Amino acid sequence: MSNAFSLSFLLTGLLASVPVAQVRPAINDAQQIVEEGQRRAATTSERYSGLLQSFNADGKTSEKRWMFERIGSHGKSRTIIRFTEPAEVAGVALLIVNHPERASDQWMWTPALQRDRRIALQDRSARFFGTDFSFEDLEERVAEQYDYTLLAEEPLAGAATWKIGAVPKRTRSSQYSKQTMWIRKDDYVTVRIDSYVKDQVVRRLQSTKILTVQGIPTAHELEMTDLPRGSRTRLALEKVLYNLPLKESDFTVGALRR
185: closest CA among 5, 8, 36? 36
Q: What is the pLDDT of residue 85?
A: 97
Q: What is the pLDDT of residue 1?
A: 53
64: closest CA among 47, 78, 81? 81
DSSP state of 8: B
How many CB atoms neighbour CB 24 within 10 A? 9
Residue spans per domain, the chain: 30-253
Split the chain (258 residues) into runs of 10 and give each run's mean pLDDT: 47 34 58 93 96 95 98 92 97 95 92 94 94 95 90 97 94 89 97 97 98 97 98 98 97 92
Q: What is the pLDDT of residue 170?
A: 77
194: closest CA among 209, 211, 207? 207
Torsion of CA 156, 34, 72, 176, to 10 degrees: 80
Where b means 16+ CB within 10 Å and e means fewer, 130-163 reads: ebbbbbbbbbbbbbbbbebebeeeeeeeeeebbb
C-alpha–C-alpha distance, residues 42 and 140, integer Å: 11
Q: What is the pLDDT of residue 196?
A: 98
Residues in contact with 21: Cβ distance below 8 Å, sequence separation at least 6, in sequence order: none
79: closest CA among 131, 192, 2? 2
The pTM of the full predicted model, rounded to 2 decimals, is 0.89
Cis peptide upstream of residue 86 (ω within 30 degrees of 0): yes
> Beta 159-168 vs 115-118: how paired, if at all?
unpaired
Q: Which fold has domain 30-253?
A: outer membrane lipoprotein receptor (LolB), chain A (2.50.20)
The letter for the amino acid at 231 is: S
Q: What is the pLDDT of residue 28?
A: 58
What own/partner pairs with CB < 8 Å and gap ≥ 24 does 177-184 have? 179/146, 180/151, 181/34, 182/154, 182/156, 183/33, 183/34, 183/37, 184/159, 184/160
The letter for the amino acid at 146 is: Y
